[in-house]
Amino acid sequence: MSKPLRIGLTGGIACGKSVVAAYLKERYHVPVVDADQLAREAVAIGTPAYDAVVERYGAEICRGDGQLDRPRLGHIIFADPQERYWLEGQIHPWVVEQMQQAIQTCHHPQILLVIPLLFEAHLECLVDQIWVVAVDTATQLARLQQRDGLSTEAAQQRLAAQLPLATKITQADHVIWNTGTLAELYAQVDRLWKQT
């Protein structure tokens, strides 16, 4: 069985990666593997990463139901790069392993790997093409604040934790600009899909 074309979908936070991925899945039936979803599974109750997080930060990092308090954890790791690197070290190896398994068992001609930290985690080797979803910085900041209910300072911390979007754009095979309407976004994706 030949390997599928591995498309790496990335971009800045709050740029619309999930919207593009959902459209490709629905319109073209492309299998989608989402690194963020896998990262959530990696720290589910009872996993080694969950146990490591609780050991490092104490029981107060958990909500009443035992799940990790993601906003509290986010506050810690985005305020301190060393803590973020530590957490990524607990999560990334398992996430990469799951993505590799998905590629090996894929029976579709293409597979979409949604990897927000594709460049930051040096995962370019996992993909054949890199698609970056982009918006201007002001739009990105506003969408992030609205989506996650963050202060300007907290939103800027999250933007600073990733490579600048301009850098990602220079390393992309294709750039999808999400600055217009949904119809315009989908039209760009359609044109790009026809080239694959």
**If you average pLDDT over every residue of the chain, what do you get?**
94
pTM (whole model) above 0.85: yes
Q: How many CB atoms lie within 10 A of CB 83?
A: 15
Q: Which two tokens stand for residue 75?
A: 């506050």
Question: Which tens digit of pLDDT belongs to each residue from 22-47?
Answer: 999 999 999 999 999 999 999 999 99
Model pLDDT, residue 2: 75
Annotated ligand binding at 134? The verdict is no
pLDDT at 1 exceeding the cut of 60: no
Q: pLDDT, tens digit, for every residue of 148-189?
A: 888 998 888 888 888 999 999 999 999 999 999 999 999 999
Domains and CATH numbers, the chain: 5-41+92-195 (3.40.50.300)
What is the enclosing helix (H) or strand (E) of 108? none
The per-residue pLDDT for 42 is 96
Q: How far is 30 from 108, CA to CA, in rounded Å?
A: 7
Q: Which pLDDT score is estimated for 157?
A: 87
The percentage of residues in the chain with a pLDDT greater than 90, rounded to a whole number, is 82
Q: What is the pLDDT of residue 160?
A: 86
The reply to whether 19 sits in an annotated binding site is yes
Average pLDDT over residues 106-111: 95
Half-sphere exposure of 65 (CA within 13 A, CB side): 6
Residue 3 assigned ligand-binding role: no
Q: Taking 80 as the threshold, does the pLDDT of residue 53 lie above it?
A: yes
Q: Per the annotation, does 135 bind a ligand?
A: no
